[in-house]
Homo-oligomer: A and B are copies of this chain.
Amino acid sequence: MSDIVTQVPHETDTASQPLERRRRAGGRGAERSRKPAGSKYLNLVNSLQKNVVLTPEALDDIHEASLTILEEIGMDIMLPEARERMKAAGADVTPGKDRVRFDRAMIMDYVGHAPKTFTMHARNPQRNVAIGGENLVFAQIASAPFVSDREGGRRAGNQEDYRKLVKLAQSYDIIHTTGGYPVEPIDIHASVRHLDCLSDMVKLTDKVFHCYSLGQQRNLDGIEIARIGRGISMEQMEREPSLFTIINSSSPLRLDGPMLQGIIEMSARNQVVVVTPFTLAGAMAPVTIAGAVVQQNAEALCGIAFTQMVRKGAPVMYGGFTSNVDMKTGAPAFGTPEYMKAVIAGGQLARRYGIPYRTSNTNASNTLDAQAAYESALSLWALTQGGGNFIMHAAGWSEGGLTASFEKFILDVDMLQMVAEFLTPLDVSQDALALDAVRDVGPGGHYFGTAHTLARYETAFYSPILSDWRNFETWTEAGRPTTYDHANRVFKDVLNKYERPPLDLAIEEELDAFVARRKAEGGVPTDF
């Protein structure tokens, strides 16, 4: 079976929903028993045989080189508490200095405690996502400073657009989780931004969400909001990871204070940490892809090992984000052949360690043109063939991540759905082989009106959101719309049809009270 596409629905964990919540939710038990309207793309499985770009020997070489970096060069660990925990775990720590070195066996011992698979729990159990193995999970774009649509152009992130983008994420089942703030709403003061944004995540979606590791209090507030949203106890939340955080290293070879604090707060409570070095070859990593992957791997293993020093068995992902820069200008490049190789190499490393693999759907185009599509399609090719489990920035990423594009979101949703359709098994039943239909039609006929066709045509093929298959004349009469035009129309239609997912009144009240109290306390301290 290893060489055939199969669809193996995974455990959706509805049994794990707390009894008290089912009682308080009243009618929700009945609702939960039927599938939501658009549930076709939940629980994606990628059973393709994965590609490799590294021989077993090269994989060993990269692994050993990254351990040599950790052992001989070390990393700058910019938080005293983290260094103390590392020292206690056996790392080489010099008092008063950031530089920490790690014995290779010690690193691998801790990495070995990370779980191969786990489930992230949403407030709607149908939205739970299985992480690792052959599971494929798509998360919306995160952290863009700008937002754009065709009419409004490119503008700074703001709450209104933030909410619209979150609503779009809720509207498509192929978007399994949000990925952070799709755009940074700078019109909300930084001291309370996380309170408003995460409260919106609970209210506007019923999917798993992310909290930023920007200081201990934001992590604690995020954990509390996720707990309230699910209506569960902290003990249950510790058993059922429900929130994730992205930990980026400050490449090369540094982990800063807020990121280390984020690992401590999240891993200690068994929440999900995604360790993602951002290693652009030729900028903050060596100019060779192999060298950049070595550095990526060193930084990832250090962060992953630290999660296990904090709590053995805490859920963690191996993140890869190695790409190249345009050596003429230093600008980052994405969706390139080099990116494809780095994505596949990262998958080989993650599988070697038995840790779920996070990667991204990237492109560097400034608009929704052919470049935006081919760079994203090459990214999707590589991450699908390379065994990505958790795909950040899966929809909406434009301009190398600087802009969340409403139209690009729709384009990406269409492409993600095509990937999902490609991954569904081909029907090879005797009925599908259609010998009887061929007998009926015979040489020289056609199949438009046959019984075999009529019984199947409505659902035989994927019906794309954007592709315009009209003939040239009809398309010309329609004003020659491009994919950009179609995407512009569709995102507005979808926003008009958006409906909030059901939320218990008791939960909403508890959430509002928490946010109000924390705002009254001043949120978190900021320096502006």
* Chain A residues within CB distance 8 Å of chain B: 1, 3-5, 48-49, 51-55, 58, 61-62, 65, 68-69, 72-76, 98-99, 154, 250, 252-254, 281-292, 294-295, 324-333, 336-338, 340-341, 345, 364-378, 381, 385, 399, 402-403, 411, 414-415, 418-419, 421-422, 425-435, 437-439, 441-448, 452-453, 456-458, 460-464, 466-472, 475-476, 480, 482-484, 487
New A-B pairs, 16, CB < 8 Å, besides A287-B434, A290-B428: A49-B51, A49-B52, A98-B443, A250-B444, A252-B441, A253-B444, A254-B444, A286-B447, A289-B427, A327-B461, A329-B469, A331-B469, A338-B461, A366-B476, A370-B484, A371-B468
A369 touches B370 (CB 8 A): yes
Q: List 25 A-B contacts (CB under 8 A).
A: A53-B425, A61-B433, A73-B443, A98-B443, A252-B438, A252-B442, A252-B445, A252-B447, A285-B447, A286-B434, A287-B452, A289-B427, A290-B429, A291-B433, A294-B435, A324-B461, A326-B461, A328-B463, A329-B470, A331-B470, A364-B469, A370-B482, A374-B376, A381-B381, A402-B472
Chain B residue at smallest Cβ distance from A330: B448
B281 touches A462 (CB 8 A): no
Give the contacting residue for A456; candidates B250, B287, B375, B438; CB below 8 A. B287
Give the contacting residue for A367; candidates B52, B72, B414, B480; CB below 8 A. B480
Contact residues in B for A254 (Cβ distance below 8 Å): 443-444
**Chain B nearest Cβ from A6, distance in angstroms:** 9
B378 touches A460 (CB 8 A): no
A295 touches B438 (CB 8 A): yes
Contact residues in B for A365 (Cβ distance below 8 Å): 467-468, 483
Give the contacting residue for A373; candidates B373, B418, B447, B487; CB below 8 A. B373
How far does the alpha carbon of A427 sit from the alpha carbon of B281 in the complex, in Å?
14
How far does the alpha carbon of A463 sit from the alpha carbon of B337 in the complex, in Å?
10
Give the contacting residue for A286; candidates B51, B288, B336, B452; CB below 8 A. B452
Chain B residue at smallest Cβ distance from A444: B254
**Chain B nearest Cβ from A513, distance in angstroms:** 42
B366 touches A443 (CB 8 A): no
Given the known A-B contacts A373-B371, A472-B154, A483-B370, are A286 and B74 also in contact in the complex, defined by CB atoms under 8 Å?
no
Closest 10 CB pairs of A and B: A291-B434, A377-B377, A286-B434, A337-B421, A253-B443, A373-B373, A370-B483, A370-B373, A369-B482, A58-B428
Contact residues in B for A69 (Cβ distance below 8 Å): 435, 438
B290 touches A434 (CB 8 A): yes
Give the contacting residue for A443; candidates B99, B326, B399; CB below 8 A. B99
How far does the alpha carbon of A510 sit from the alpha carbon of B419 in the complex, in Å?
53
**Chain B nearest Cβ from A134, distance in angstroms:** 14
A446 touches B253 (CB 8 A): no
A327 touches B457 (CB 8 A): yes
Contact residues in B for A422 (Cβ distance below 8 Å): 337, 340-341, 378
How far does the alpha carbon of A458 sit from the alpha carbon of B411 in the complex, in Å?
34
How far does the alpha carbon of A462 sit from the alpha carbon of B365 in the complex, in Å?
17
A418 touches B370 (CB 8 A): no
How far does the alpha carbon of A425 sit from the alpha carbon of B341 in the complex, in Å?
9
Contact residues in B for A476 (Cβ distance below 8 Å): 366
Chain B residue at smallest Cβ distance from A460: B287
Contact residues in B for A425 (Cβ distance below 8 Å): 53
Chain B residue at smallest Cβ distance from A298: B438
How far does the alpha carbon of A326 sit from the alpha carbon of B463 in the complex, in Å?
8
B290 touches A432 (CB 8 A): yes
A51 touches B52 (CB 8 A): no
